A and B are shown apart, each in its own frame.
Chain A
């Protein structure tokens, strides 16, 4: 009885599918969509990137005179603060466009960009990027500055198969060194293992028998810190005596810090980020615990450190960019120009108030600077040439980077930009970080300093 009732619709369905496919109204030629990327006719291009399996032709030149970049990052809800990164790069691109655009192989191009809100949700990122790039990769030239590790991981297959560059992924994940994904490049943020290495080196020199307590997030970010640090202290007298994890998204970690304080550690690796970072510092103070304290570079931010107040005094970190809060740079021409540019072009941005002292705007701005340099160094206006160019960045600098810092990549052997760092220390009374000590350079060493399974996970 029941069965006979739905046999009809099923038959109808099967017939309809066939009938309808013959009267499709959309322009589909999906069977051989630009899949001739690896026709071997480009033997003159010496490439470290294998383009045989590309679904588009990465050697095709840009048509017209605009380079279309797309991005996806949080713009609303609880994670909207990340949108400030885009304020920085958008302002820089605006400036470049107004000054005549970017020149590749003798021709000037305007940079056009489009972005969507993904509220930090990786699946939203994926659907945003697929839409912005187009299923056949024809809607955009490259993807720029997607925020979040999982968010970038969720688009790397898609973009890798299409051979669309995914550039300046805005986290310090070491997974950006995975050779299976040559179309993905990280940003100038130091890889998390280098931060751990830098703190280990600092302790070796200043506190060779340190007992370290670690607070880390319960994900790949925390795991990289922890494993990187443990590898960095192998063979020394430094010892990890306690590790506490906190769930990502939590902003209250006082219990975890109470446990760490009870471990009698004399060094504190504060791997917390966002609001958990200042909360860890104030909790540390509440416990009356006074270890040598290091904070994650993701915590170098006016809005976060000001919340820690005096509890953050003396905290160490490592960075490669100038702090817009630091009065030493108040008259620095690059800093002045940066502030003027952002104010001129992007005072209004996504309904958010402008705070020029927010360091992540400057971070975004620097990514755009480096990218424009790489574009101009590209031999041709093609995806492959641009990818080659960003993979062979040779000592680019930015006037907004700390003196002596330079950015270098070398193909798959060294895809990391931010490998020279300077120790900085927070001065609560002055309200900013200041550089101390020598510049530390791990150029080309990130892969060897990182447990391999973290990179190729």
Chain B
């Protein structure tokens, strides 16, 4: 059995499992899985920026929020159909992304992380000041009926799961194609050696700002989808955007930085982890965050290159490559080859 066959088989199996899931699980679980799917989109956006382009952002929770409010407001007060708001959310988040991406040309590394952190902390305060939602709180919640299933033989939760997963799969495919294209190679070159990249004719500024915009658009789409799943855009919680920003980063790192399937795996693990650490010790609920934190630390120790990164290495050992053959994969098929060809080095 060679590498490609294994990969195709695994890909098809995963795809079948992903598509069969909504018929197997109860609505509560479908909703959790949908959450993992939109989380994965935002994490993928951040992965493009941080993993493939070397720019750290702790502000993606704000882009996510921009997408969520765009979608919620368009549906709630302008009567748009939900699906039509997704591109609008992407565009608006991308515009904000460009606004942040331009100063990021000069502000780098940890300084950039800091500036984007400011964005995440400010977002809910700005929202609270200017958004007057239901009941006077900074929360926009379109009616449930706005999100009815377009396929009548499916229940809402099943339909919403499939829609989210489908969009996630498309965006992951897009990312996969992108990082293997000319543009993707330019992104990676800028990450690894910015000065060298510019000497070989790469327009560093355009690549960096462009990546920022695309990355923000991914987060914006995830935010829009979150409105369908959670049915509200929220700015009442002063720490929500910060928390989301951090969790996107966590999903990227525990999944596998600069891999294609990493963010998806990371997002799934994160959602499951959060669910199972809540109230894990009956009568000691205050400790829930500590258990979550300890689980994160343990995971980094056990799989320092992330789950996909670590498994990719193992896979490489079990099935040594004869030649670098580009593989086809299913909708959510793993592609560990990107792991091994682009090691996760953040530092020059």
Contacts and interface: CB of A to CB of B under 8 A. Distances in A.
Interface of A: 2, 5-6, 9, 12-13, 16-17, 20-21, 23-26, 28, 30, 75-77, 80, 83, 116-117, 120-123, 126-127, 130-131, 135, 149-150, 153-154, 156-158, 161, 173, 175, 178, 218-220, 223-224, 247-249, 348-352, 454, 457
Contact of B24 (A25, A173, A223): A25
A127 B141 contact: no
A344 B254 CA distance: 45
B23 A2 contact: no
A5 B125 CA distance: 45
21 contacts: A2-B177, A16-B19, A17-B151, A20-B19, A23-B23, A26-B25, A83-B285, A116-B278, A117-B285, A121-B234, A127-B31, A131-B28, A135-B28, A150-B234, A158-B144, A218-B129, A219-B128, A223-B136, A248-B128, A249-B238, A350-B285
Interface in B246-261: none
A75 B135 contact: no
A247 B136 CA distance: 15
Q: Is the interface of A mostly helix, strand, loop or mixed?
A: helix
Nearest to B292: A76
A353 B285 CA distance: 12
A76 B288 contact: yes
B288 A117 contact: yes
B323 to A, nearest CB: 20
A219 B231 contact: no
A130 B28 contact: yes
Contacts of B134: 153, 457
Nearest to B16: A16
Contacts of A21: 23, 153-154, 158
A9 B173 CA distance: 11
A150 B279 contact: no
Nearest to A77: B289
Interface in B124-159: 125, 128-129, 132, 134-139, 141, 143-144, 151, 153-155, 157-158
A83 B283 CA distance: 12
Contacts of B328: 5
A370 to B, nearest CB: 23
A159 B70 CA distance: 25
A126 B231 contact: yes
Nearest to A2: B177
Given A21-B23, A76-B285, A173-B135, 9 more contacts: A21-B154, A116-B278, A127-B230, A153-B139, A178-B135, A218-B125, A219-B236, A224-B136, A454-B136
A247 B238 contact: yes
B331 A123 contact: no
A82 to B, nearest CB: 12
Contact of B20 (A20, A218, A223, A351): A20
Contacts of B125: 218, 247
B87 interface: no
A20 B237 contact: no
A6 B169 CA distance: 11
Nearest to B165: A13
A89 B284 CA distance: 19
A116 B279 contact: yes
A219 B137 contact: yes
B49 interface: no
Interface of B: 15-16, 19-20, 23-28, 31, 125, 128-129, 132, 134-139, 141, 143-144, 151, 153-155, 157-158, 162, 166, 169, 173, 177, 230-232, 234, 236-240, 278-279, 281, 283-289, 328, 330-331
Contacts of A223: 136
Contacts of B239: 249
A340 B166 CA distance: 57
Nearest to B142: A157
A350 B230 contact: no
A352 B286 contact: yes
A126 B28 contact: no
Contacts of A350: 283-286
Given A17-B19, A25-B23, A75 B137 contact: no
B135 A153 contact: yes
B158 to A, nearest CB: 8
Contacts of B237: 120-122
Contacts of A25: 23-24
A122 B236 contact: yes
A6 B19 contact: no
A23 B166 CA distance: 20
A186 B284 CA distance: 29
B26 A122 contact: no
Contacts of B138: 150, 219
A241 B220 CA distance: 43
Contact of A75 (B23, B234, B286): B286
Nearest to A18: B153
Given A25-B23, A153-B135, A158-B144, A12 B286 contact: no
B136 A175 contact: yes
A116 B157 CA distance: 22
Contacts of A153: 134-135, 137, 139, 141
Given A219-B138, A454-B136, A76 B231 contact: no
Q: Which 4 A-B pairs have the closest CB atoms?
A: A220-B136, A24-B23, A249-B238, A351-B284
A13 B18 CA distance: 10
Contacts of A6: 173
Nearest to B332: A9
A76 B286 contact: yes
Contact of B286 (A13, A28, A351): A351
B234 A123 contact: yes
A220 B135 CA distance: 8
B284 A121 contact: no
A76 B286 CA distance: 4
